[in-house]
Amino acid sequence: MTNATAPTLPDWTTAQLQVQQPAPAWFDWALARPLSSHVVTVDGCPIHYLLWPGDDARANRRGLLFVHGGGAHANWWRFIAPFFTPNFRVAALDLSGMGDSGHRAHYDANHRAQEILQVLEDANLGPQPFVVGHSFGGYMTMGFGAAFGARIGGAVIVDSPIRRPGTGDEGEMPRRAVSLARHYPSFDLGLERFRLLPAQECANAYLVEFIARHSLRESGTGWTWKFDVGAMGTGRWGEPFKEYLQALTCRAALIFGENSALMSRDTAQYMSDLMGPLAPIIEIPDAQHHLMLDQPLAFVAALRALLASWTSADSRSET
C-alpha cells in the first residue's frame, strides 16, 4: 500500500544533525546557502526534494537535478549543489522508499522516471534541464533518459557501471541487498554503525558524518535507517540498464572514480562505446565510488566544466 501522507521532515538545526568533525570553510558556506524543502505526489507517493534557487534571473532559467544512490538521500548533495547556483536552479530529490520520501508497495525504474519528471516540473527547472545520477541514481537516470531524454539537455552518469560482456563480471552489479530493518536504541549508536556501501575508507570524515547524521529517523522501536527495506532488495538490479543506456535520447556523459570498486577504465570504455563517441568520459583522480565524498571539489570542477561546455554548445545552436 502506498504511503500517501507527506513525510515529517527533520529540524536541521537540532544538535543531532550538527557535524562534530573539523570541516573546511567551503563546507560551512555550502550548508549555509538558502534552500527550501518541497513534496510533490507522484502516483500517490509523496516525493521529497530540496531546492536551491539560482543566484539571479539568468541562472533560474535553466535547471539541474541531482539523483542519489541506493539507500541514500538528497542530503548527499547538500554540500555539492550550492556550487552550481551561479548558473542553474538546482534540486535534489529523495527517490521513493528512500530519504524523506514515501514508500511504495513496488519499486521500478518506471516509477522513478516519473518521480524525476515530476520533480523537474514541480521545481520549475525550466526547459532542457540537466540530470546527474550517482550509482543507483545513475541507473535510474539511464531509465529516465531512455523514456524522457528529449525533455532534458543531458544526463550525467556517475560511477554506475555497465560491464563489458565476456569479461566474467558483467553480471556483477553492486547487488548488496538489505533484507532486515535495523533498529538502534539511540541515535548515537545508529550513527556509530553507519557504513558506506560499497565499503571504503574516506579521508573526509566530516562528510561521512554529515551523511550519516541525515540517514537516521526515529521509529517506535528506537532509531532506524530512512530507507525502506523493500526498496533495497536484489530485485532493484533486475532491469535492462544496458538497454536503457543504449536507448538514451539525450546527450550523455560518464564521470567515475579512478579507484572505484565498481568501475574500471575498461568498463568506462565499454560504456563510451554504448553511448557513442561524442559522450565525454571523465575520470576523477584519487577518488573511489563515492567520489563526491572523496574528492568533492574535483567533482564539482569536472561537472561544472562539462555542463558549461554543453550550455555553450546549446547557445551556439540557438544563434
Q: What CA–CA distance (Å, rounded) separates 313 from 112?
A: 29
Strand partners, 225: 216
According to DSSP, residue 303 is labeled H
Look up the CATH number of the domain holding residue 79.
3.40.50.1820
**Residue 13, domain member (yes or no):** no
**Residue 141, domain member (yes or no):** yes
- Give the pLDDT score at 227: 93
> For 52-90, b where at least 16 C-beta lie within 10 A, e where not — what string?
bbbbeeebbebbbbbbbbbbbbbbbbbbbbbbbbebbbb
**Residue 113, domain member (yes or no):** yes
Looking at the structure of the chain, the number of domains it has is 1
Q: How many CB atoms lie within 10 A of CB 183?
A: 14
Q: Consecutive 10-residue runs of the chain (319 residues): their mean pLDDT?
A: 50 89 98 95 96 96 97 97 98 97 93 97 97 97 97 98 79 52 92 93 97 93 91 78 96 98 97 95 98 98 98 85
**Residue 200, domain member (yes or no):** no
Picking from 176, 181, 42, 174, the residue whose alpha carbon sits closest to that of residue 104 is 42
Single-letter code of the amino acid located at 26:
W
Beta strand segments in 12-150, E: 36-42, 45-52, 63-67, 89-93, 130-134
- Give the pLDDT score at 164: 94
**Residue 116, domain member (yes or no):** yes
- Give the pLDDT score at 232: 84
- Give the pLDDT score at 233: 74
- Give the pLDDT score at 168: 60
**Residue 26, domain member (yes or no):** no
- Give the pLDDT score at 7: 57
Cα dihedral 64, 298, 143, 108 sign = negative
**Residue 46, domain member (yes or no):** yes
Structural domain boundaries, residue 111: 31-163+230-314
- Give the pLDDT score at 172: 45
Residue 10's contacts (CB-CB under 8 Å, 6 or more residues apart) are 17, 100, 214, 217
**Residue 181, domain member (yes or no):** no
- Give the pLDDT score at 182: 87
Q: Is 5 exposed, middle or buried (0-12, 13-18, 19+ CB in 10 A)?
A: exposed
- Give the pLDDT score at 315: 86
